[in-house]
Amino acid sequence: MLSKQDQLTELVRMLEAKDHVFATDPLLITERMQDEQGSPIQKLHHRAERIDSNGALTGTLSKIDGRIKGIILIMSVLWCISGFAGLFALLQANVVNFFYVLVCLLGFHSLMLLGWLVLTVINRGSQSPSIITSFISPKALIRGKDDVTQAAVELYDMQLRHTGMRWYLGKFTHQLWLATLTGMLFAIIFLLIVRQYSFSWESTLLSDSALMTLTHWLGWLPSMVGFSVPDADAVVQSRLATEAMPLSIARQWASLLIGSLLMYGLLPRALAWAFCALMFARKKMTLDIKQPYYQKIINFWQRKVVDKNDFVEKVIPVAPVAKVTQGNKLVALLEYPCNDKLWYQAAGPEFATAQVIDFGIVDERDDFDKLYAYLDEHEVQVLLGIHAQALPDRGTMRKLQKIATHAKQGLIVQLLEPEDDASTYSGENAENESLRLQQWQAVLAEYQIGLVS
């Protein structure tokens, strides 16, 4: 799956495609980060974190991730308990058939492990996504009809369909088997501590020598790490044992049982789990920054003003000079506040003497609706203050064009330079400021909207 930073970055992309309203304006964040140092992927991560300034997106992703991990933990605990209970029920008699218990412990487990190994070698392609999505469905973990929840669920569904998820599923199944075998191990150790067992074996076809050879081969690996293995005399005395046997012989069989569970059960399964974890890390999903959305942002950050000696300078359209009319005036700020409460007086003496209606900040849809309604009923000239760091994107120009159609005495624009918060823009140089002003001049000239010089 994607890393937490990649998940947040991808979630921002998906929500921007749905015109989601973020805690912080993505365009402003993108503009501010143009001159920051770092690789494109690092800057994209920082951009997503700043856009999610209130932590709402991170909280939703953490909620889904926490519930998935919680389900895995609960299932592991249940499997451990089931292994303990199963073996506890199996070892109720005082005389235990050693090979029967061993087959019950490791028979089905070994077949499943061997089957997984064969399928892993044969099926080197991607695993069917339907298996994983039906097993872990994000829609069942979190419910909500808001944009953030729906996009987060869609993001997790996309990750579950990635080819590397086959190793995630393998890692999960091995973890359940490890939990089961651990429960069995706890049960064996507990019962051997509180009860005294006698171990026997019986066979119609196998002779004593054959069982000696089988016990020798079975005990080879456990004996390498210090577990005891029954000798020839112990094997012979254990055949068809129906009563208490010498404690030394019983301890040899008990040691072989524990050693076999560890070396032929827990160890191979742990190696399989580690292999799946390693392959999952190698096949881990990464952020695809070649998508047009990311390329557009990266290209904007990499945009530099070309030296004038290298090209023929084009004539940039200039916005018409603002013509201040007589009569009442209405002033408003677009989206961002201004520290100077009388900022509009810089537009001309008319704004210092005439009746000025300060409409405050217009940002939400309700603010614009109120502004349109007021302009339809009153003949006023509108002066709109716009933060100089903002960009003349399509959304902004649509708002300006609509205000201009409602303003009966016309619309003029004033770009407001930052004053007290100059440290925020300390990274911007004069060339970038000039380029941004040229962009505003060109766009306002196209729409014939006056600009306060």
Instruction: List pLDDT tens digits, range 372-415.
Output: 999 989 888 888 999 888 888 888 888 888 898 888 888 899 88
Each of the 453 residues of the chain gets a pLDDT tens digit; together they read 788 899 999 999 999 888 888 888 888 899 888 888 888 999 999 999 999 998 999 998 898 888 888 989 999 999 999 999 999 999 888 888 888 899 999 999 999 999 999 988 887 655 544 444 455 566 666 777 788 888 888 888 888 777 777 888 889 999 999 999 999 999 999 999 998 888 888 777 877 788 888 888 999 999 999 898 888 888 888 877 666 778 888 899 999 999 999 999 999 999 999 999 998 888 778 888 888 899 999 988 887 544 444 445 555 565 556 577 777 889 999 888 888 888 888 887 777 777 788 888 998 888 898 999 999 898 888 889 998 888 888 888 888 888 988 888 888 998 887 654 444 444 445 666 777 788 888 888 888 888 886
Residue 443 and residue 400 in contact, taking contact as beta carbons nearer than 8 Å: no
Model pLDDT, residue 308:
44
- Residue 449 makes CB contacts below 8 A (sequence gap 6+) with 319, 320, 400, 404, 411, 412, 413
Model pLDDT, residue 266:
96
Q: Model pTM?
A: 0.61
> 């932590």: which residue's tokens?
55
pLDDT digits over 196-245, tens only?
A: 888 888 777 877 788 888 888 999 999 999 898 888 888 888 877 666 77
Model pLDDT, residue 124:
63
Model pLDDT, residue 440:
85
CA dihedral 16, 22, 25, 30 (to 10 degrees): -50
